[in-house]
Each structure stands twice: as C-alpha cells, then as structure tokens.
C-alpha cells in the first residue's frame, strides 16, 4: 500500500514489491483447508481454480468465483509463466475485496506463511526477477 503524506512524500508500506505476470492469465489453485493440492483427494474441501493478479515474496492477490473468509488457511499452487512446475505454499486469506451486489469473481489476498519446500521459495525469488513479469506495483 502506498501512502501519500502531507508534504507529498510517498511511503511504501509493503514488506516486498509486487510483480504482475506479463502474460494475461496465471492459474492459481486454492485449497481452503490448508492441505497441499496433491493431498486434496483426502481433504474435506475441493480445490478452487482462479487467476493470480500479482505476486510478491510475501503473498499473492488472486480471484476466485466464490470468496473465502478472511483468516482462512489455504494451500496455494501457483502456476507462473516460464516455470515448468508450480510453486506450492501455505498461507492465510488476509483480505477480500467484496463490493456489495458484485456478482462477478471475488478478488482476495493471501499472505504466505510457508512454502512446501525450500526449493519452492528459492524458485519464486529467482523467478520474480525474470522477464516474465511486468513493472513493480
């Protein structure tokens, strides 16, 4: 979040810069109970598929057809352009952008709490500096 102060200085309150994939659609699979996607056959909730808008080292903004409640622990499988394998993590829904009467897909934000493996975290770190992403947000 960028804040403008009275003397027009800009303060960035985000812990990590956000990057938008340059390709128009980046698939994200969300499992509401926090299990990872391959384990989801045993979970009580079905995975949801949606679209990632931007990603940082700390989290992701995405949309699903149905909103999840803030505070929901989720498993995340992120499919980014230029990667052959998805990045898997666990996180918590920290924001739902829900307009009254809005019947379209719901945008949400999740904060990453952990990655399934250290390789997933290092692949995301390396990939954010690649040419597959647009300007920082």
Q: Given this model, what pLDDT does residue 137 score?
A: 44
3-state percent breakdown (helix, strand, coil) of the chain, nearest 5? 10, 45, 45
How far apart CA 112 and CA 76 sit, in angstroms, is 9
The secondary element (H helix, E strand) that includes residue 30 is strand 27-31
Token duo for residue 64: 């699903």
Alpha carbon of residue 92 to chain centroid: 10
Q: Given this model, what pLDDT does residue 75 score?
A: 94
Q: What are phi and psi of 126, to 5 degrees?
A: -65, -40
- Tens digits of pLDDT across the chain (137 residues): 443 444 444 444 445 555 555 455 688 999 887 665 554 445 555 689 998 888 888 999 999 988 899 999 999 999 887 788 999 999 999 999 876 666 778 999 999 999 999 999 999 888 877 766 655 44
For the chain, domains (ranges, CATH) are 8-129 (2.40.10.220)
Q: Given this model, what pLDDT does residue 2 score?
A: 42
Q: Tokens 């399934």 — which residue? A: 116
């Amino acid at each position: 979040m960028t804040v403008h102060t009275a003397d027009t200085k800009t303060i960035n309150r985000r812990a990590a810069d956000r990057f938008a994939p340059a390709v128009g659609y980046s698939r994200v699979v969300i499992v509401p109970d926090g299990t990872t996607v391959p384990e989801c056959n045993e979970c009580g909730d079905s995975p949801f598929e949606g679209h990632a808008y931007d990603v940082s080292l700390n989290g992701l903004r995405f949309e699903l057809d149905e909103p999840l409640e803030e505070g929901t622990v989720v498993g995340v499988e992120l499919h980014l352009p230029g990667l052959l394998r998805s990045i898997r993590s666990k996180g918590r829904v920290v924001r739902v952008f829900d307009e009254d009467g809005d019947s379209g897909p719901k945008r949400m934000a999740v904060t990453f709490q952990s990655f399934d493996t250290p390789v997933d975290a290092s692949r995301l770190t390396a990939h954010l500096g690649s040419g597959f992403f647009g300007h920082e947000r």
